[in-house]
A and B are shown apart, each in its own frame.
Chain A
Amino acid sequence: MAAVLNWEFIVGHANYWLGIILMMTGLYVVVSRGNLVKKIVGLNMFQTSVFMLYISMGKISGGTAPIATGNPEEVYSNPLPHVLILTAIVVGVATTALGLALIVRIREEYETIEEDNILDIENAMQRDEDREAGSMI
């Protein structure tokens, strides 16, 4: 294990670790913050860091962007991750839009976008329903 941890290894893996740090920051925002808009921002951060992970895997040292230069000796970075991530970015924006629309709708119904308040309201509604059911018996 100790033999593996040399300088070259650390520099060569820094891209994965940076991606993981950003990913975990996004996850932390999603899990720990009650505000729904902030949760969406966290989700976007998570998503972008996954994109970075993919793109960094496709990079070849000394390569250029995958656009034909006419030089047969040219080394290109791998275009396939780029294609996949292009699709993923657009899909990500679609899901973001849907999530934000849901937030607007939730706000209309509950007058709040804080998770705690929504849970309180739902619990109160549940108690009322239980009481009504009890009085009918």
Chain B
Amino acid sequence: MLVITAISIVRVRKLFGVVMLSGVFSLLSALLFVALDAVDVAFTEAAVGAGISTVLMLGTIALTARTEKKPSHSSLLPLIVVIITGAVLVYGTLDMPNFGAADAPVQLHVGPDYIERTPRDIDVPNYVTAILASYRGYDTLGETVVVFTAGIGVVLLLGSLGRRRRRNKTGAEDV
């Protein structure tokens, strides 16, 4: 179903439909995360990916254009590039451990150590919260810095929008 949604995102030309489909895509991936035991990630994805992103994109297409132009150049070259990249990546996965294997390298070092230490060190039942806020607290600090910087960027880019619009309007009336 995810693949079908993705392909229809490629095909659909009305931007409103594309944005709605990307919301559907996020929601489906949130369901997949629940199935893969990542409940925290699932609700973040549902709230942020399907909620906030969709609202932001709707705002953007309301401020800009609603339909997409037909692409002028041929799409054969991108297709070839993409297929080659995909083939190389699939070749790279041939050495990977099987899905769900308990003896995969990912499961052997840091993860079990956190699970073993969390009840002793922090005593929070949710391991994801414990790691996020405590063991890897600096990551979260960096994340807030990134969000803050992005917020400043958006304000700088759009802050003067309304003022400029008003000025243009009065300028047009003067003429």
Residue in chain A with minimal CB distance to B29: A48
Interface of chain B, main secondary structure: helix
List the count of A-B residue pairs having beta carbons below 8 Å apart.
273
Question: Distance (Å) between the CB of A29 and the closest chain B CB?
Answer: 6
Q: Do A20 and B89 have beta carbons less than 8 Å apart?
A: yes
B interface residues, how many (CB within 8 angstroms): 90
**Interface membership of chain B positions 128-164, coded 1 if the CB is closer than 8 angstroms to chain A and 0 otherwise:** 1001100010011011001101110110011001001
Is B64 an interface residue when CB atoms closer than 8 A count as contact? yes
Which B positions have Cβ atoms within 8 angstroms of A? 2-3, 6-7, 9-10, 15, 18-19, 22, 25-26, 29, 32-33, 36-41, 44-45, 48-49, 52-53, 56-57, 59-61, 63-65, 68-69, 71-72, 75, 78-79, 81-83, 85-86, 89-90, 93-94, 96-102, 104, 106-107, 110-112, 114-115, 118-119, 125-128, 131-132, 136, 139-140, 142-143, 146-147, 149-151, 153-154, 157-158, 161, 164
Which A positions have Cβ atoms within 8 angstroms of B? 4, 8-9, 11-18, 20-29, 31-35, 37-38, 40-42, 44-45, 48, 51-52, 55-68, 75-87, 89-98, 100-105, 107-108, 112-114, 116-117
